[in-house]
Amino acid sequence: MKKLWHITHSCGHKAERDLSDRAADRRAGFAEWLANRECTDCWRAARTTDEQDKAAWLEARRAEEQAESDAWSAQYRMPPLEGTVRAVAWGVRCRHQILADAYTGLVLEGETSEAQWEVIEETALSRLAAQHDEIQRLRNDPAPEDAGNVRPLASVSSKTAPFGSCS
Ligand SMILES: [Zn+2]
């Protein structure tokens, strides 16, 4: 019974595979399946490069989003978020992303006019500002029953965000 198979992979590399751990009647089929794929080295090399590219791309994209969000927050004079550096960065991105997504969905892809959008945006922004004021108030003068419930603004606004959640 044939155990060693000479396989020419799709990348052109040849490999000798011991298929004795496969059922005898499955070996030919498995050899064919292998031949339609890259060899292990090529597969691994492609994958490593992709993963590195992906990580670099994600990092660049994250920095780009952060810069956009910071600029947006300054433009609309959004109240500063409080918390750890990481939480604040996330909160600023999240706040911007939610409104940007809402704009895309409602105005660019939906039926909402620019004028209607301005009202929606105004409402959302004033709600965020009101939330911030409320949290400041609770921080400065917590009623006994509220004292345990004060959370950093970043997590509060993600929970009560008007248009759903963001990543
Ligand atoms: Zn190869």
Within a domain: 44: no
Residue 36's pLDDT is what? 92
Within a domain: 165: no
Q: Compute, in angstroms, the gap from residue 16 CA to the centroid of ligand 1.
A: 13
- pLDDT of residue 59 exceeding 50: yes
Range of the domain at 31: 4-38
Contact residues for 127 (Cβ-Cβ < 8 A; gap 6+): 162
68 in the same domain as 31: no
Q: Compute, in angstroms, the gap from residue 33 CA to the centroid of ligand 1.
A: 15
Q: Compute, in angstroms, the gap from residue 45 CA to the centroid of ligand 1.
A: 9
Please write the tens of the pLDDT for every residue from 112-126. 888 888 888 888 888
Closest among 54, 90, 48 to 70, alpha carbons compared = 90
- pLDDT of residue 26 exceeding 60: yes
120 in the same domain as 151: yes
The domain tally of the chain equals 2
**Least confident span in 68-77, 83-92, 129-138:** 129-138
Residue 95's pLDDT is what? 82
Within 76-113, where are the H helices?
Answer: 85-103
- φ/ψ of 15, rounded to 5, equals -145, 150
Q: Compute, in angstroms, the gap from residue 38 CA to the centroid of ligand 1.
A: 5
Q: Compute, in angstroms, the gap from residue 7 CA to the centroid of ligand 1.
A: 11
Higher pLDDT, 5 or 53: 5
150 in the same domain as 71: yes
140 in the same domain as 64: yes
Percent of the chain with pLDDT over 90: 10
- pLDDT of residue 47 exceeding 80: no
33 in the same domain as 65: no
- Separation in Å, CA 162 to CA 68, 123, 126: 20, 9, 11
Within a domain: 134: yes
Q: Compute, in angstroms, the gap from residue 165 CA to the centroid of ligand 1.
A: 43
83 in the same domain as 34: no
- pLDDT of residue 82 exceeding 90: no
Residue 155's pLDDT is what? 42
Higher pLDDT, 163 or 51: 51
93 in the same domain as 33: no
34 in the same domain as 109: no
Percent of the chain with pLDDT over 70: 83
Within a domain: 43: no
Q: Compute, in angstroms, the gap from residue 42 CA to the centroid of ligand 1.
A: 4
Q: Compute, in angstroms, the gap from residue 79 CA to the centroid of ligand 1.
A: 55
Within a domain: 167: no
